[in-house]
Amino acid sequence: MSTDKQAWGSRVGLILAMAGNAVGLGNFLRFPVQAVQNGGGAFIIPYLICFLLMGIPLLYIEWASGRFGGKFGNHSTPYILDSMVKGRVLKYIGVFGIFTNVAVAAYYCYIESWTMSYVYHSLSGTFEGMSQSGIAQFFNNYVDISKSSTGIPYEAVVFYIACLLLNTFILSKGLKGIERVAKIGMPLLIIFGVILAVRGLTLGSSGASELFPDANAWDGLNFLWTPQYDSILDLKVWMAAAGQMFFTLSVGMGTIHCYAAYMSSKDDIALNAVSAGFMNEFVEVVLGSLIVIPIAAGYLGLDWVIENAGFGMAFQTMPYLFQQWGPVLAAFAGLFWFGLLFFAGITSSLAMGTPWIGFMRDEFNWNQTKGAWSFGLLILVMGLPTVLFFQQGVFDEYDYWAGTVSLVVFAMFETILFSWIFGMKKGWAEITSGADIQVPGIYKFIIKFITPVMLIIIFLGSLFKPLNNDWSGNVSSFLSGNGWTLDNGSIVKTIMHAGIKEQILAATDPMIISQLEERMMYLNFARLLLIALFLFISALVYFAFLKRRREGRATL
Amino acid sequence: MNTEALIMMLTTQGLVTALTGYFFYRVLTTKPKAEPDSYTENDEEEERQAKN
């Protein structure tokens, strides 16, 4: 039913686009931080096991489901799932595969716009002579939309809209536009990453200063890679490793299905899936571990890194560290660092646009241009609150529900549907059809039993996260009949704003109480927006169903 | 760096790099299937047209 035919130009282009979809800011920022917080070198063992038992199976499932749905002219998850399993309700599970992309793209474009802005600031020398706290404050001022560092009023909003326009324009060019960006962006990202990684590896103790006399990049690498075998027995480390799989591989989103839906059933998906998956692992495990942590440890010392490791280091710390290399090298390092983050971001955000465009084309005959600009408008409506009310927590609320919980829920459902309802016999035939490599037969067992169980455990683990993330302690307590105490970060307690309510009860200053109450209001506002988006997409799926029924194309 | 960390880092990164290189090499060197396939850039190559 498409009004314009979309197709990939080349196999390498498709793999780079898939790898670009997977490679995101998390590869450089989340992975090393997770490793630091979860036993250093011990983290890599559960991480790699989770990659083999959950990451690769999910890649196979999503590539195979996408290509299967594509045979019936479906390019987004509601009707991809519908073509696999007949049932009125199942297409609404597929709504997650559009919802997550729209909601994540809404705030992800904001981070992407920071990287654009920071490339500009690095090249124009804004950070020259600034202290570490000055650069951290620069970021805080940047996200306070009433302040401007360039003289442009509402600078953060301007960069956000510029970034959104760029994404929309590229999306309007179709798969060819996305492929061209991936073919330029991925090699540049790797080149920039290698240059910075070499610096991280060779910095040693040359960055030590009077303030941080013991700073040594090797300490950072030591901490990151020394195996602490006792933490392998800690369930918390396993949960963190499994959680990282979703962020790093972009599984559970619906983008992989959409990209694979443009493939013919006689072409390989098995080799393509592992090739794109391992390319992502290379960027994460090799490049991601050699930049932020060693460079930060090289100038600020390991203690500072352990205390401050977090997402904010990218914008609040790295520009300061680059300044230690002199103004010219700092400008280049800023260009490389924020440039690689920008390419990592844009190749992912472009992927997030394709399920919506594919759905509107398949169901309502919208052409690529109309689909792309409607996506841009939707992102603007959903994304502006994350920009305007960033400091009130709207951004983080989107990230929690759309960028974390939704991924796990959808991945769990799609895995159960694929292996148990669609069935492993058909599923395995779909994975191996046209395969250019021999897929190990053990994966039939893993996909049917291990992956679904792991996903159910992760989902239940998020729902009932134990107090202080102390899994081992709480499991013992539960088994000995002493109950299970929920953490405020568990889904159950997050829904009820338990953490904020506790803070309100503990506070005595009326001003702080009123600030906390105001924060709760903004978080509820963010939730309402997300619920409205989910209902809106569900309504579109229903109208599409009615249209299909009128045309005699509905499956049920 | 201590020896244990160095071994862990070199083994992991070496393994990941080798597998990435191997799979990408396989992609580059595997003979494409006959037309019609999923990719448009090679549509006109004569030797790839399906034989009737």
Number of other residues whose CB lies within 10 A of the CB of residue A495: 11
| A384 pLDDT higher than 50 | yes
User: What are A112's two structure tokens?
Assistant: 């992407």
| A497 pLDDT higher than 70 | yes
Domains observed in chain A = 11-463+496-550 (1.20.1740)
A180 touches chain B (CB under 8 A): no
Predicted model pTM: 0.93
Per-residue pLDDT of A388-443, as tens digits, reads: 999 999 999 999 999 989 999 999 999 999 999 999 999 999 999 999 999 999 99
Rounded Cα distance between A512 and B41, Å, is: 61
CA A188 and chain centroid, separation: 20
| A116 pLDDT higher than 60 | yes
A3 — pLDDT class (breaks 50, 70, 90): very low
* Close Cβ partners of A186 (under 8 Å, ≥ 6 residues apart): A16, A19, A20, A23, A279, A343, A347
Per-residue pLDDT of A285-335, as tens digits, reads: 999 999 999 999 999 999 998 888 888 889 999 999 999 999 999 999 999
Per-residue pLDDT of A439-482, as tens digits, reads: 999 999 999 999 999 999 989 988 999 998 888 888 888 899 88
A433/chain B closest Cα distance in angstroms: 13
A274 touches chain B (CB under 8 A): yes
Per-residue pLDDT of A246-257, as tens digits, reads: 889 999 999 999
Write down how long chain B is.
Answer: 52
Rounded Cα distance between B50 and B52, Å, is: 6
A556, A86 contact by CB (below 8 A): yes
Asked which of A36-40, A327-331, A351-355, A483-487 is least confident by mean pLDDT, the reply is A36-40
Residue of A nearest to B22 (CA): A275
For residues A476-496, give the mean pLDDT: 91
* Nearest residue, CB atoms, B12 vs list A12, A279, A285: A285
For residues A264-290, give the mean pLDDT: 95
Mutate to test the interface with B, among A4, A10, A11, A12 (most CBs of B within 10 A): A11
Task: Tell me if A282 and B17 make a contact (CB, 8 A cut-off).
Answer: yes
* Nearest residue, CB atoms, A41 vs list B5, B37, B40: B5
A267 touches chain B (CB under 8 A): yes
Give the per-residue SS3 of A174-187: HHHHHHHHHHHHHH
What residues of chain B have any CB closer than 8 angstroms to a CB in chain A? 1-2, 4-6, 8-9, 12-13, 16-17, 19-20, 23-24, 26-28, 30, 32-33, 36-42
Number of other residues whose CB lies within 10 A of the CB of residue A236: 21
Task: Tell me if B42 and A10 make a contact (CB, 8 A cut-off).
Answer: yes
Rounded Cα distance between A18 and A255, Å, is: 9
Rounded Cα distance between A448 and A451, Å, is: 7
Mutate to test the interface with A, among B11, B15, B24, B29 (most CBs of A within 10 A): B24
For residues A353-376, give the mean pLDDT: 97
Residue of B nearest to A216 (CA): B1
Give the per-residue SS3 of A47-95: HHHHHHHHHHHHHHHHHHHHHHHHHCCCCCHHHHHHHHCCCCCHHHHCC
Residues of chain A with pLDDT > 90, as a percent, come to 77
Residue with the larger pLDDT of the pair A519 and A145: A519
A186/chain B closest Cα distance in angstroms: 14
The per-residue pLDDT for A42 is 76
Rounded Cα distance between A415 and A420, Å, is: 8
Rounded Cα distance between A34 and A26, Å, is: 10
A122, A331 contact by CB (below 8 A): yes
Give per-residue burial for A462-479: e unless 16+ CB within 10 Å, then b.
bbbbbbebbbebbeebee
Q: What is the ipTM of this complex?
A: 0.91
Mutate to test the interface with A, among B27, B31, B44, B48 (most CBs of A within 10 A): B27
Asked which of A24-28, A55-59, A60-64 is least confident by mean pLDDT, the reply is A24-28
Q: Rounded to the nearest 5°, which phi and psi values hold at A482?
A: -95, 10
| A4 pLDDT higher than 60 | no
A556 — pLDDT class (breaks 50, 70, 90): low
Nearest CA among A8, A53, A431, A78 for reference residue A249:
A53
